[in-house]
Chain A
């Protein structure tokens, strides 16, 4: 077995205070710091054979990336045991350590050294990387002047130089435009032919079904299913059906003090509405009362149909945005504006609020707190997108 995982669990402690100081320690030496426990991975056992291409799928906060980091040796495993046969790639994401102020040449060498190559090897393979990334002539350009497409091509071209027998990959398999993606796929088939073991975490069912020999579905840190990628892909889609942005806090748990006071819809001019036509821009809003100090909490809304189909999930941490720091007792309003392309029907709004980095567990969540009726056309689809129709006689 290339990777064998026996009863591995990983728990994070999330202190209620953001940072502790020596001053506090000196003034209150016996006060214990309070914290929440986040059980990110619970009792996972798994064996991955040599030469296998293994996919791990699951929703945000299901523990899949944490498990990958445990395998990679980035997080310490407290309970259980992970054994590896063969050399393991030291990193799990593309372009780690890229520095925008240095040119591509330096960055490739830095990245390759992090991958475990020596400086000499990095220099030798440099031409190879450049040719693969198709970036000849851009090597002396600083990375901050690169387009995002060029950046990922460079990162990918460097990453495949790794000499490891076991590769761990988080999210990105194929990058760039269609032609470059094709090259990435070919590269993966080459690695596969060479008998390397690849463990791959993704949201993208298409790549999982296309590449993986086996796949595994995780939910709440637990393995729910291991099997054929196609079967796992279907299970994943079913899991996502009707899902909210967060999960309601447990009834039995301690009250957090954080509550959601109200939720409503408004038009672009700020007028609150309970019905709207498709031309208006629609803003989903809610007001929360904070029961504790929060740094960068995740505000989210889920818009569902009356039947419980999820149409829109909007989160304040999308695209790496941060929401800011808030103090106990503050009232905060979160607004999410969307173009109103919903089909004529009735929709329910579920606001939720969670601590930063706690996965899907909400501090406060009220199911279907507000509703709105959209009137206008209904073509039968769930969205009424602006469509340019053209019919031409040839």
Chain B
């Protein structure tokens, strides 16, 4: 002890000898995971909750505005496709309006969770450069925040469905595993894109264009049945649509929520085993995203 304070305090006691020496461990630097599951979860939840609070408590209309986007999109599409183009002539697709709303809401989750994840690491530069925490928290908190939104939007979807005369049924529970697959899919893509964006800044515009393609390339405005008569290399278009995980989820959700007689994802693909293809894409992208994120994690705070 070289200096005794001259501020009238009792001189500090010499540092007490530690009772036991804690085992020393090596510091490696930041990682994607690590630091304990409990801390991981509380950080993810805290970041998502903060976003949520900022969005909805800043203005009373916060929730209304968030809901407005998919609802407005729904209104415009409904008008264009049923009134102007009259796509649903003779009511070929029962509950077309509810189908449209439900699929727009599910797609909105995918869109917000992935597009929100892209700049998430760069936006949190302040934290990443000053705090040690598992880096994966950042993109995962975006997916969780969007899940809060999805939950609220689904309430509106169910109100519409009940209003259209469909009665509640046990099959609705199937939505839970479907949303789970959707979350895994969005999170996998989100992990991959957020880490890529740190290196390549044109990921953002590229992904926006890609989302546009996904929007029209998934059975959202139309159903798989509408596309069944078109072929590509002798394969019915409906099958190709369901290879896309989003297409499979939306198609299956239609059967579960709206119309038990509608084709399941497996039927649209032409066999249960073929379901492994969209599920494989989901799993593969998740694994790729996790691997790439984990690979990049140690250097993220330096590359920002």
Residues on A with C-beta less than 8 A from B13 are: 193
Instruction: Choose one: B7, B21, B27; the contact of A83 (CB below 8 Å).
Output: B27
Residues on A with C-beta less than 8 A from B127 are: 96-97, 114
Contact with A along B169-213 (1 / 0, CB 8 A): 000000000000000000000000000100111110010000000
Residues on A with C-beta less than 8 A from B301 are: 74-75
Contact A20 B12 (CB under 8 A): no
Smallest CB-CB separation from B19: which chain A residue? A195
B89 contacts chain A at the CB level, 8 A cutoff? no
B216 contacts chain A at the CB level, 8 A cutoff? no
Contact B130 A92 (CB under 8 A): yes
Smallest CB-CB separation from A50: which chain B residue? B18
Contact A82 B27 (CB under 8 A): yes
Instruction: Choose one: B1, B27, B130; the contact of A84 (CB below 8 Å).
Output: B27
Given A51-B16, A110-B46, A209-B3, decide whether A81 and B26 contact each other with a Cβ distance below 8 A: yes
Smallest CB-CB separation from A98: which chain B residue? B126
Smallest CB-CB separation from B38: which chain A residue? A118
Residues on B with C-beta less than 8 A from A192 are: 12, 15
Instruction: Choose one: A21, A76, A189; the contact of B200 (CB below 8 Å).
Output: A21
Smallest CB-CB separation from A5: which chain B residue? B27
B56 to chain A, nearest CB (A): 12
B30 contacts chain A at the CB level, 8 A cutoff? yes
A106 contacts chain B at the CB level, 8 A cutoff? yes
Contact with A along B58-69 (1 / 0, CB 8 A): 100000000000
Question: What separation, in Å, do the CA atoms of A51 and B16 have in the docked complex?
Answer: 7
Residues on B with C-beta less than 8 A from A102 are: 50, 53-54
A182 to chain B, nearest CB (A): 7
Which B5-46 residues sit within 8 Å CB-CB of chain A? 5, 7, 9, 12-13, 15-18, 21-30, 38-39, 42-43, 46
A63 to chain B, nearest CB (A): 14
A265 contacts chain B at the CB level, 8 A cutoff? no
Stretch of A65-73, A147-155, A374-382 that contacts chain B:
A65-73
Residues on B with C-beta less than 8 A from A23 are: 202
A25 contacts chain B at the CB level, 8 A cutoff? yes
Given A118-B42, A165-B22, decide whether A230 and B2 contact each other with a Cβ distance below 8 A: yes
> Interface residues of B toward A: which range?
35 or more
B212 to chain A, nearest CB (A): 18
Residues on B with C-beta less than 8 A from A4 are: 24
Residues on A with C-beta less than 8 A from B30 are: 73-76
B34 to chain A, nearest CB (A): 9
Contact B206 A82 (CB under 8 A): no
Contact B132 A91 (CB under 8 A): yes
Contact B50 A19 (CB under 8 A): no
Question: What separation, in Å, do the CA atoms of A51 and B14 have in the docked complex?
Answer: 9
B299 contacts chain A at the CB level, 8 A cutoff? yes
Residues on B with C-beta less than 8 A from A1 are: 24
Residues on A with C-beta less than 8 A from B203 are: 22
Contact B132 A73 (CB under 8 A): yes
Given A12-B302, A195-B16, decide whether A116 and B200 contact each other with a Cβ distance below 8 A: no
Contact with B along A98-114 (1 / 0, CB 8 A): 01011000100110011
Residues on B with C-beta less than 8 A from A114 are: 43, 46, 127, 131, 133
Contact B3 A84 (CB under 8 A): no
Which A52-94 residues sit within 8 Å CB-CB of chain B? 52, 69-77, 81-88, 90-93
Smallest CB-CB separation from A116: which chain B residue? B39
Q: Which of A85, A185, A186 neighbours the largest number of chain B CB atoms within 10 Å of its CB?
A: A85
Contact A106 B50 (CB under 8 A): yes
Instruction: Choose one: A19, A74, A106; the contact of B129 (CB below 8 Å).
Output: A74
Residues on A with C-beta less than 8 A from B116 are: none
Contact B199 A20 (CB under 8 A): yes
Residues on A with C-beta less than 8 A from B42 are: 113, 118-119
A36 contacts chain B at the CB level, 8 A cutoff? no
Residues on B with C-beta less than 8 A from A86 are: 22
Given A83-B27, A116-B39, A229-B3, decide whether A21 and B50 contact each other with a Cβ distance below 8 A: no
A317 contacts chain B at the CB level, 8 A cutoff? no
Contact B5 A85 (CB under 8 A): no
A204 to chain B, nearest CB (A): 14
Smallest CB-CB separation from A90: which chain B residue? B132
Given A51-B18, A185-B7, A189-B9, decide whether A76 and B199 contact each other with a Cβ distance below 8 A: no
Question: What separation, in Å, do the CA atoms of A304 and B263 have in the docked complex?
Answer: 83
A211 contacts chain B at the CB level, 8 A cutoff? yes
B298 contacts chain A at the CB level, 8 A cutoff? yes
Instruction: Choose one: A50, A99, A186; the contact of B9 (CB below 8 Å).
Output: A186
Smallest CB-CB separation from B27: which chain A residue? A82
Contact B201 A19 (CB under 8 A): yes
Residues on A with C-beta less than 8 A from B199 are: 20
Contact B131 A96 (CB under 8 A): yes
Question: What separation, in Å, do the CA atoms of A79 and B130 have in the docked complex?
Answer: 21
Contact B58 A101 (CB under 8 A): yes
Which B109-131 residues sit within 8 Å CB-CB of chain A? 126-131
Instruction: Choose one: B22, B128, B206; the contact of A22 (CB below 8 Å).
Output: B206
A211 to chain B, nearest CB (A): 7
- 6 smallest beta-carbon distances between A and B, as pairs: A51-B15, A76-B29, A85-B24, A21-B202, A76-B298, A91-B131
Besides A85-B24, A99-B50, A214-B2, 11 more A-B contacts (Cβ < 8 Å) are: A19-B201, A20-B199, A25-B200, A73-B29, A82-B27, A88-B132, A90-B132, A96-B130, A97-B131, A195-B17, A228-B2
10 A–B contacts from the bound complex (CB under 8 Å): A51-B17, A70-B27, A75-B302, A88-B132, A92-B130, A101-B58, A182-B7, A186-B9, A195-B18, A209-B3
